[in-house]
Amino acid sequence: MADSETKLHRLQRLLSSCSNTLVEGSDFRKSEKSILELVDFLDSISGAIISIPRDDYSENIAFQFLSEIHRYVSASTLDQAVLDALSFDLPKAVARFACASRRCLEMAQSIVNCFTDKCNPRDMLSVLCEALGSPSEMFRLPNYFAPLLSSFPKVFVSIRRRQFELVKAAVPVILNVLKAMSLNLDDEDTDPQDLFHIAINIADSIEAICMKLEGRDKEKLSALLGLYVLEIMALVSIGMRTGVSCFLPLVIKLSQFLQHCGLSYLGLIVGSDVDKLIDLIMGDDRDACLSCFSDIQLGASLSVIWGYKSVDVASAAREDITAVKNELLCSQTKRWQVVGMLKHIFSCVNLPWDLKQQAVDFLLSIMDGNMPLKSPDENVDCSIYIPSMYAALQAIQVVIMYASDVMLRRKAFAAFRKVIADIPSAMRFDLLQALVKNSDSSSMIAVLLDCVKEEMRNEITIRTSVTNGVLETADGNSQGACFWCASVLELVEFVLRPPKGGPPSLPEYSDAVLAALNLYRFVLITESTGKTNYTGVLKKENLGKAYYEWLLPLRSLVMGIEAENRKDYDEMASGVLCALNPVELVLFRCIELVEEKLQQPAQSA
């Protein structure tokens, strides 16, 4: 207790020293020294308190210090010059004590409020931004940031000139802290919802400023608010810890900002509204904007998915989700844009699976329905959408492979197939080929090769006659055989004779090998039966290549692995043999078919 009183007395002396040196108008160095001594003392005390396990004694010391500082800065007799001088350093020092407990957090907030109430708002904006951007590692805790973040609304609304420029400079600093904290909310005294409520209060203050502005400044600040709200929407969705129902009020509140910012569900889900906001804020400097607002596409997609999930959210945004879906059903290009936006949800590692499932359901809902409405858009350059579609398909693959819920995996695969089917046939094979060659999952490669085989089967069903190697449909219109081409054999070779050389790794890649063998067998039998050779599979050189470079080395590998595992038979060996049995059956059948063809006369190209 004596030690506590000694420390408190020293604090009082240091505070008194600051008042004396500043009011007396003594030289600058002496005034600066007194403030530096005060801050160093406070930092040493707060550091000691946080570095040891939390106990009532240290928490009481922290609260006593904060109470004394609050009494000092809130005194009506305190000279404004003293308060202004202390405002540059004391808020940060006080925020460190907020980490001690909940009541210390509340007291620290009251102290920071004293500065924001009485000091120049533009100076306080700089102080708060500096304090947010430079905490020590020890104080990267939510309770350190909370009193500082909570002061921004009051500071923002107190600024009278150049509001847009000043808010624009502060928002990235605020978002960096919110992002870091939302991903690391382990402090038992900190409710993640508290942090998000502060974020929403900041949005309210920006909206209040917008209501007072006119013309271009209002338009630009509203756009900045839109970007901020989309970022917070993403953070709230990622930061859910206690279930969707607890966070629904936050999402409803955020959705109420959308209309004010000129954002619509259709514009958000196709990405055009995001582009509009970026153009208003940054113009041609898009990269700079995306570095500050890295999750706006995710937030835009989630805004619509939340509306799809909850009627209350859609109502708050004043949107009709059914009308949005109908619009997407009627436009192929808009559906491609939606797929490109939803990839941000599917690829987000920290997002709850429930929201990913809602995104899959939404995607299925715009791919299903009245098929005649889904006519391809005419005169559209599909190539500009292919990179985004490719990335989206890769993201959906992640859901297919890693979702713990079986039903979600099935729905994700159904969505994957429907997205593939919605792509023009001329581009479809190239996409599947790229996905196969850039996948390191044997099971996923097997799924993709099965998709290729199914596409080839579909082309057969629409074939009614063959003339000079060109497919013709029943109405007389011809179309290229997009999947019945030589590149199919390249896919088979990619698996059976990997680019790095040698036969494939077994049994690790048994799924992919089995799928490649089945695809090769299907192509070989179909071309032989139909007396065609679109893929070139029946060429003597291709038959010889498959036989000597793919099939025989694979047979040697399979037989060697089987012999080794039969020698030391155990549970693991049993699993290896079970994985290789179907591969062996199809492999031997392929060898038989090729041997038969090699004995026949040469097949023309």
Quote the CA–CA distance of 524 and 530 in Å, as a whole number: 10
Does the pLDDT of residue 180 top 90, yes or no?
no
Mean pLDDT of 319-330: 95
Q: Identify the residue whose tokens are 């591969």.
A: 583
Q: Of all residues in the chain, what percent are helix, strand and coil, respectively (each to 5)?
A: 75, 0, 25
Residues 580 and 510: beta-carbon distance below 8 Å: yes
pLDDT (tens digit per residue) in 510-567 = 999 999 999 999 999 999 998 889 999 999 999 999 999 999 999 999 888 888 777 6
Read off the amino acid at residue 30. K
What pLDDT is stored for residue 195 in this prediction?
A: 86
The pLDDT tens digits for 203-226 are 999 999 999 988 888 999 999 999
Q: Which one is predicted more confidently, 468 or 340?
A: 340
Percent of the chain, pLDDT > 70? 85
Which three-class secondary structure string do you get for 484-505? CCCHHHHHHHHHHCCCCCCCCC
Sequence-separated (6 or more) residues with CB below 8 Å from residue 387: none
One DSSP character per residue, 224-279 reads HHHHHHHHHHHHHHHT--S-HHHHHHHHHHHHHHHHHTT--HHHHHHSHHHHHHHH
Residue 192: predicted pLDDT: 67
What pLDDT is recorded for position 399? 95
In sequence order, what are the residues at sequence separation of 6 or more whose Cβ sits closer than 8 angstroms to the Cβ of residue 287? Answer: none
pLDDT the model gives residue 50? 82
Q: 200: which 2 tokens? A: 């929403």
Question: Does residue 374 register a pLDDT over 70?
Answer: no
Q: How much is the pLDDT for 257? A: 97
Q: What pLDDT, on the 0 to 100 scale, is given for residue 465?
A: 46
Q: Give the whole-angstrom CA distance, residue 449 versus residue 432.
A: 8
Confidence at residue 599, expressed as pLDDT on a 0 to 100 scale:
87
pLDDT at 375 (0 to 100): 47
CA distances from residue 56 to 8, 63, 261 in whole angstroms, order as listed? 17, 10, 48
Q: What is the pLDDT of residue 474?
A: 38
Query: What is the reported pLDDT for 186?
Result: 56
pLDDT of residue 473: 41
- Cα 419 → chain centroid: 20
Long-range contact pairs involving 424-427 (C-beta distance under 8 Å, separation at least 24):
424/376, 424/382, 425/479, 425/482, 426/382, 426/480, 426/482, 427/382, 427/383, 427/386
Q: What is the mean pLDDT of residues 344-349?
A: 94
Specify the pLDDT at position 287. Answer: 67
For residue 299, what is the enclosing H or E element? helix 296-309
Per-residue pLDDT, 242: 54
In this prediction, residues 137-160 reach a mean pLDDT of 87
Q: Read off the tokens for 605.
A: 């190209």
Task: Give yes or no for residue 296 having a pLDDT over 90.
Answer: yes
Least confident among 4-18, 63-77, 173-187: 173-187
Write the burial class of residue 243 (CB in 10 Å: 0-12 exposed, 13-18 middle, 19+ buried).
exposed
User: By three-state DSSP, how is residue 478 classified?
Assistant: strand
Question: In terms of C-beta density within 10 A (0-12 exposed, 13-18 middle, 19 or more buried), how is residue 56 classed?
Answer: exposed
pLDDT score at 202: 97
* Locus of tokens 């400079």: 169
pLDDT band, residue 319 (cuts 50/70/90): very high
**What integer pLDDT is reported at residue 378 of this predicted model?**
47
225 neighbors 261 (Cβ within 8 angstroms): yes
Cα–Cα dist 507/524, whole Å: 25
Rounded to 5 degrees, what angle do the CA atoms 169, 156, 76 make? 130
pLDDT at 1: 45
pLDDT at position 56:
82
Write the single-letter amino acid at 264: S
pLDDT, mean of residues 14-43: 79
Contact of 373 with 329, CB cutoff 8 Å: yes
Q: Which of 248-257, 288-297, 453-462 has the highest mean pLDDT?
A: 248-257
Q: Residue 478: phi, psi to the nearest 5?
A: -95, 150
Given this model, what pLDDT does residue 115 score? 94
Q: Say what the pLDDT of residue 370 is.
A: 40
User: Mean pLDDT, to the nearest integer, of 467-495?
Assistant: 69
Residue 585 has pLDDT above 60, yes or no: yes
Nearest-10 Cα torsion for 525, 528, 529, 535? 80
Q: Which parts of 403-509 fold into alpha helices (H)? A: 406-422, 425-437, 442-461, 487-496
CA distance 235 to 196: 8
pLDDT at 460: 84
Please give the average per-residue pLDDT across 49-66, as a whole number: 85
Residue 381: count other Cβ atoms within 10 Å of its Cβ. 8
Please say whether the beta carbons of 157 and 205 come within 8 A.
yes
Q: Kindly tell me if the per-residue pLDDT of 477 is higher than 80.
A: no
Mean confidence (pLDDT) of the chain? 86
pTM: 0.87
